[in-house]
Amino acid sequence: VVREVVDGNMRSVNLAQPHVGRNELCPCGSGDKYNVCCEGNIDWPSILSGVASDDVYVRSLSVRGKNLKFLDFVGSLFQLDRFDKGIPWPAIKKACTPKIVQQIHYMISKLWPDKEDLVHCLEREKRGASGLYVGTYNPEAILRGITRHSLYDESILLVDPFPYVMGVSPELNPLQYPEKYVSNTLMNLWLWIKLQPWIAANIIKFVRTPSDFDYQLFCQSIDVEEKRYQTEPELLALRAQLLDETKNSEVFEQYRQFLFLRVPDSSLRRQIKEMHPHFDVAKVEEYLQGCRRLRDAHPYCTALPEPNGESPKSWSEFIITTTGTNHEVAKVMCALTGSHLVTDSAIRWKEIELDRKHNDLSGDDWEPVAKAFQATEFKFLNNVSLDSALQVRKDERLRDVRQFLRKLWHQSRSDNVMSNANAKLLAEELTDTMRHAEEEWRRIQVSGLATLGREIVASITQTIVSGNILWLGALGCSAAINAGRIRRKEALYANQNYPAAYFARLKRENG
């Protein structure tokens, strides 16, 4: 058995013709058995025997298969045997050299070779019922939001925050300038590794977007988005308001601290002197030590190297923030995967609402269901630790909620018109399901199965707790961007319906 590292062989190669049992897990990594997955479509025994090329192998993997392969690769880079609780972050931070940054980005481009492969992968996801998350992308928001949302969806698709090197211009490319991507890489790795158990459990899947592979599509979608902002004063006002709120939020404070700490010690020392002109030398050094401790304790904050006589530009770094993908591309992805949108962002929700309004989509029939959603408080998993949340899910607790919602997604995706009477019945069923779920949740809490905990980077004193879910049924996919670019021959958008969920509307509690 040969293990690869980037330029070697991608697979564990068996020299003997390997046997893949029909009832064994499919080698594509989907989590399904071979006989209900790839058997008859993909000849896994010959791929695993090393006859086929790496390219064929990679194109035969499912989304989860690619995710696990990536994690395997990360593990081998950092010599992690397993992704358990005791991830040695200080060691990872130290080991994350520009060379490793390069290898990681290169590996991603190997695992996701082109758009054709991506579209194929996304379409395979249609078998499940999933939500595509577009929203706040700082790791804490994702960990808290998505893992809670896992109670309501079979699986959640998450756009990989790593940049796709083939689509990045040479002067910004991580392969050319890996030293500028160290913090960014650590931040993304932190998220990936934290979510590893969720990926293994087939709940969370990292995907890429069609616009990664298609610059024109990317530009087109941005144009549509820009136009929307120009013509919709509501959106502009909301953006301004949210920006204001963000400036006063704890997450932003945390981000500022991160930016402050990541500079070289010499620069930090200068800033401390500026902030506290009355400090003597000893006091400045003491303060600096405190900053260093904070930096060391931070999972992905690392100091930039000292400028070493060069211009400050040479030691600058890119910090990339993302919301996954824009609304237009997200819709395409929903159509391909049969997913609905999930967001915690008021602005993304507004975009969904406006889109619906302008395309005159008949979602009004669903109003009773939407009202029932709004009237329900979703208290599950408030302040529960990441491990407990996963355990609750693995133990199939609160399964009725998922089953009901699955039915709801399915119905709202179909072409059948929803009658008002039917919508009322569904609304009643929703209220009922949630009441039972609340009882079950109380029992789980009493039994102590769900331990409290917080997934935090630094010191967040506020906790985000329950909110209600906004819901829009039968949101159509409108062809704002040229569908022919995604998948030729087929009109991708024709009569595609998908619902949209919204799980934020969160309250903050001090605690």
Q: Which is nearer to Zn ion, 31 or 75 (CB)?
A: 31
Using CB under 5 A as the binding criterion, the count of chain residues that bind Zn ion stands at 5
Q: Which is nearer to Zn ion, 26 or 268 (CB)?
A: 26
Minimum distance between the CB of residue 206 and Zn ion, rounded to whole angstroms? 18
Contact between 34 and 71 under an 8 Å Cβ cutoff? The reply is: no
Give the whole-angstrom CA distance, residue 25 versus residue 32.
Answer: 6
Q: How many CB atoms sit inside 10 A of residue 135's CB? A: 22
Nearest to residue 35, comparing CAs of 18, 22, 20?
22
165 exposed, middle or buried (CB, 10 Å; 0-12, 13-18, 19+)? middle
Residue 498's SS3 state is strand
List the one residue from 10, 11, 30, 103 that touches Zn ion (CB under 5 A): 30
Contact between 122 and 337 under an 8 Å Cβ cutoff? The reply is: yes
Select the span of 29-37, 105-113, 276-284, 391-399 touching Zn ion (CB under 5 A): 29-37
Give the whole-angstrom CA distance, residue 221 versus residue 258.
Answer: 31
Minimum distance between the CB of residue 44 and Zn ion, rounded to whole angstroms? 7
Q: Which is nearer to Zn ion, 38 or 500 (CB)?
A: 38
List the one residue from 10, 26, 418, 501 that touches Zn ion (CB under 5 A): 26
The DSSP letter of residue 306 is: P
Residue 82, C-beta contacts closer than 8 angstroms, at least 6 positions apart: 75
Residue 361 dihedral angles phi and psi, to the nearest 5°: -90, 135
CA 464 to mean position of chain CA atoms: 19
Residue 146's SS3 state is helix
The DSSP letter of residue 34 is: G
Minimum distance between the CB of residue 119 and Zn ion, rounded to whole angstroms? 17
Select the span of 21-29, 339-347, 365-373, 403-411 touching Zn ion (CB under 5 A): 21-29
Minimum distance between the CB of residue 61 and Zn ion, rounded to whole angstroms? 8
Select the span of 27-35, 67-75, 175-183, 369-377 touching Zn ion (CB under 5 A): 27-35
The DSSP letter of residue 472 is: E
Minimum distance between the CB of residue 38 and Zn ion, rounded to whole angstroms? 3
Give the whole-angstrom CA distance, residue 439 versus residue 431.
Answer: 13
CA 431 to mean position of chain CA atoms: 29
Minimum distance between the CB of residue 60 and Zn ion, rounded to whole angstroms? 8
- The CB-based long-range contact list for 179-183 (8 Å cut-off, 24+ gap) reads 179/98, 179/101, 179/305, 179/317, 180/316, 180/317, 180/318, 181/101, 181/105, 181/317, 181/318, 182/96, 182/97, 182/98, 182/101, 182/302, 182/317, 183/262, 183/300, 183/301, 183/302, 183/317, 183/319
60 binds Zn ion (CB under 5 A): no
38 binds Zn ion (CB under 5 A): yes
Select the span of 31-39, 132-140, 194-202, 242-250 touching Zn ion (CB under 5 A): 31-39
Q: Which structure tokens are listed for 387?
A: 């491990």
Alpha-helical segments (H) within 50-195: 54-60, 63-77, 89-95, 98-111, 115-124, 139-149, 182-194
List the one residue from 15, 19, 23, 37 that touches Zn ion (CB under 5 A): 37
Minimum distance between the CB of residue 440 and Zn ion, rounded to whole angstroms? 34
Q: Which is nearer to Zn ion, 61 or 480 (CB)?
A: 61
Residue 466's SS3 state is strand
Select the span of 26-34, 275-283, 288-296, 310-318 touching Zn ion (CB under 5 A): 26-34
Minimum distance between the CB of residue 501 and Zn ion, rounded to whole angstroms? 28
10 binds Zn ion (CB under 5 A): no
Minimum distance between the CB of residue 122 and Zn ion, rounded to whole angstroms? 15
Q: Which is nearer to Zn ion, 20 or 172 (CB)?
A: 20
Q: Which is nearer to Zn ion, 31 or 307 (CB)?
A: 31
Q: Please compute, for residue 258, the number of CA atoms within 13 A of its CA located in the half-sphere on the CB side.
A: 19
Select the span of 19-27, 86-94, 236-244, 449-457 touching Zn ion (CB under 5 A): 19-27
343 binds Zn ion (CB under 5 A): no
Contact between 300 and 190 under an 8 Å Cβ cutoff? The reply is: yes
121 binds Zn ion (CB under 5 A): no
| Positions 229 through 248 that interact with Zn ion (CB under 5 A) | none
28 binds Zn ion (CB under 5 A): yes
Q: Which is nearer to Zn ion, 22 or 435 (CB)?
A: 22
Q: Which is nearer to Zn ion, 26 or 384 (CB)?
A: 26
Select the span of 18-26, 278-286, 457-465, 501-509 touching Zn ion (CB under 5 A): 18-26
Q: Which is nearer to Zn ion, 22 or 247 (CB)?
A: 22
Q: Which is nearer to Zn ion, 37 or 47 (CB)?
A: 37
Q: Which is nearer to Zn ion, 18 or 264 (CB)?
A: 18
Residues that bind Zn ion (CB under 5 A): 26, 28, 30, 37-38
